[in-house]
């Protein structure tokens, strides 16, 4: 174990503890963040960990930014800005798997996939944290009808811009941090990350599970509201928001692998 691993370990413990203390993570979320961070350091080293931190820190900051204006959105999305283990695994699980595959195979294409999966998670999180601040109601990507803020499948100019920015930041950081990443490679990471986020919107607005609260009538992705179980109204019941996040990251990660095979 080199000094790099010791510093990385301190960084992961410190990051997870700070995330929990600042209420960006629940206790279970902090434990999952520790696991994800450890696997990423093992697979992609301290450079990979820095990409993860970039995602975690910027997403947490945007999550806290003008929080009171997004209260209704949080309720709809079934996710508070305090992430539990399922949400951490949904966004960090695929990058962790790709980092381990990179170590196992010794092939850089998996490192590209790792970066693209993080780019997708960052792109999607930025879009869902910044998008709702847009003055106008988002429109559904299929029907183009106005939908309430926080509705999966809704898109806005600000959200789309945030999505592109989130993918570009991770691609730019990969160019600087990950050895052997070319400008073209960074372009592929950015494109794959953005496409992952687009996929999330498409699946989120079509087959993702939708529910309604029987008490107050709120359309939500949550399993419970007003102290009672919500009623399933559409989409595939097991296609939860976390699963859609996970699949989006998976798609983003696979794209560079296919592209550079
Ligand atoms: Zn309710």
- The first and second tokens of residue 129, run together, are 């944290």
- Mean pLDDT over all residues of the chain? 92
Residue 1 clears pLDDT 70, i.e. is over it: no
Q: How many of the other CB atoms lie within 10 Å of CB of 257? A: 18
250 alpha carbon to ligand 1 midpoint, in Å? 33
Output the CA 226–ligand 1 centroid distance in Å. Answer: 4
Q: Which residues pair with 155 in a beta bridge?
A: 139
pLDDT > 90 in the chain, percent: 77
**CB within 8 Å of 54: residues ≥ 6 apart:** 122, 169, 170, 173
The overall longest dimension of the chain from CA atoms, in Å, is: 57
Q: How many A from CA of 181 to the centre of ligand 1?
A: 48
pLDDT at site 73: 79
How far away, in angstroms, is 225 Cα from ligand 1 center?
Answer: 4
Domain extent for 201: 3-260
Please, what is the Cα angle at 235 between 230 and 241, to 5 degrees? 70
31 alpha carbon to ligand 1 midpoint, in Å?
30
Please give the distance, rounded to the nearest whole angstrom, from the Cα atom of residue 254 to the centre of ligand 1. 39
Q: What total number of domains does the chain contain?
A: 1
Over the stretch 88-117, which tens digit does the pLDDT of each residue have?
Answer: 999 999 999 999 999 999 999 999 999 999
Residues 74 and 80 sit within 8 Å (Cβ to Cβ):
yes
Model confidence at 80: pLDDT above 70? no
- Residues bordering ligand 1, an ion, CB closer than 5 Å: 213, 215-216, 218, 225-226
> What is the rounded radius of gyration, in angstroms, for the C-alpha atoms of the chain?
18
User: Do the Cβ atoms of 220 and 213 come closer than 8 Å?
Assistant: yes
Query: Does 78 have pLDDT greater than 70?
Result: no
The pLDDT value recorded for residue 79 is 61
SS3 at position 210:
strand
Count CB atoms within 10 A of the CB of residue 2: 9
Alpha carbon of 221 to ligand 1 centroid (Å): 12
Q: What is the pLDDT of residue 67?
A: 85
Compute, in angstroms, the gap from residue 227 CA to the centroid of ligand 1.
8
The residue behind tokens 């209704």 is 72
């Amino acid at each position: 174990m080199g000094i790099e691993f010791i510093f990385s370990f301190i960084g992961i413990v410190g990051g997870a503890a700070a995330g929990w203390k600042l209420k960006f993570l629940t206790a279970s979320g902090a434990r999952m963040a520790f696991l994800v961070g450890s696997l990423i350091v093992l697979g992609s080293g301290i450079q990979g960990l820095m990409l993860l931190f970039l995602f975690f820190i910027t997403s947490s900051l945007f999550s806290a930014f003008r929080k009171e204006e997004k209260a209704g959105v949080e309720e709809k999305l079934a996710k508070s800005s305090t992430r539990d283990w399922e949400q951490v695994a949904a966004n960090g699980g695929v990058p962790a798997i790709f980092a381990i595959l990179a170590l196992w195979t010794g092939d850089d294409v998996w490192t590209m996939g790792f970066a693209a999966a993080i780019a997708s998670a960052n792109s999607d999180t930025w879009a869902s944290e910044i998008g709702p601040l847009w003055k106008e109601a988002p429109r559904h990507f299929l029907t183009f009808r106005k939908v309430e803020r926080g509705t999966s499948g809704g898109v806005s100019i600000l959200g789309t811009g945030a999505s592109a920015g989130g993918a570009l930041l991770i691609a730019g950081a990969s160019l600087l941090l990950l050895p052997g990443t070319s400008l073209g490679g960074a372009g592929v990471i950015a494109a794959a990350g953005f496409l992952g986020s687009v996929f999330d919107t498409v699946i989120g607005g079509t087959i993702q599970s939708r529910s309604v609260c029987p008490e107050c009538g709120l359309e939500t992705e949550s399993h419970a509201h007003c102290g009672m179980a919500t009623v399933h109204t559409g989409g595939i019941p097991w296609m939860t928001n976390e699963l859609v996040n996970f699949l989006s990251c998976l798609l983003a990660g696979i794209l560079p692998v296919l592209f550079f095979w």
